[in-house]
Amino acid sequence: MKQVFLENVCDPDVSLDRCINNYRDYLEEMQQEPYDSIIATRTVRRYAELLEVKAVDPRSVGMSTCLWRD
């Protein structure tokens, strides 16, 4: 679910609602397995910030992610 969330949040054509649902699914999946609480907290915060940026400007998340990957 993590990869699905990241792909959808970076795609400007995917709705914010769908990304929020992907985020919820990822959180539920993460709870099913043992995890480090510090890393999980950082990940949750980072992904929530991605959702916030997508809400403001859907195209900016994809562009910054593409630049980061290069």
Cα torsion 64, 60, 62, 36: sign = positive
pLDDT tens for each residue of 31-44: 999 989 999 999 99
Average model confidence (pLDDT) across the chain: 87
Cβ-contact 29, 1 below 8 angstroms: yes
Average pLDDT over residues 2-11: 90
Alpha carbons within 13 A on the beta-carbon side of 64: 10
Distance CA 35, CA 30 (A): 7
Distance CA 70, CA 67 (A): 5
Q: What percent of the chain has a predicted confidence (pLDDT) above 70?
A: 89
- pTM of the predicted model as reported, rounded to 2 decimal places: 0.81
Distance CA 43, CA 35 (A): 11
